[in-house]
Amino acid sequence: MQFTHLGIRNWRNFVKADLKLGPRLFITGPNASGKSNLLDVFRFLRDIAKTGGGLQ
What confidence tens digit (pLDDT) does each residue in 1-56 have? 788 999 999 999 999 999 999 999 899 999 999 999 999 999 998 888 887 777 66
E strands of 1-56, at which residues?
5-11, 14-20
What confidence tens digit (pLDDT) does each residue in 10-20 have? 999 999 999 99
Q: Which residue in 1, 2, 8 sits closest to 39, CA to CA?
A: 8
Q: Which residue in 32, 34, 27 sits closest to 12, CA to CA?
A: 34
Cα dihedral across residues 21, 25, 29, 35: positive or negative = positive
Length, in residues, of the chain = 56
